[in-house]
Amino acid sequence: MIRIAVLVSGGGTNLQALINAMQEGKFPHASIELVLSSSDTAYALERAAKAGIKTAVVRRKDYVSQDLFDLAVVTTLKDHDIDMVVLAGYLSILGPAVIQAYPERILNIHPSLIPSFCGKGFYGLKVHEEALKRGVKVTGATVHYVNEIPDGGRILIQKPVMVQDGDTPEILQKRVMEEAEWIILPEAVRMVSDALDKGERV
Catalytic residues: 110
Number of H helices, E strands in the chain: 7, 7
- How is residue 60 annotated by DSSP? G
Spell out the alpha helix ranges (H) of 10-65. Answer: 13-23, 44-50
The whole-angstrom separation of Cα 157 and Cα 154 is: 10
Beta bridge pairs of residue 155: 144
Pick from 69, 110, 56, 61: nearest CA to 88: 110
Kind of pairing, strands 138-145 and 106-110? antiparallel
Report the run of H or E that residue 36 belongs to, with start and end: strand 30-37
Beta bridge pairs of residue 158: 142
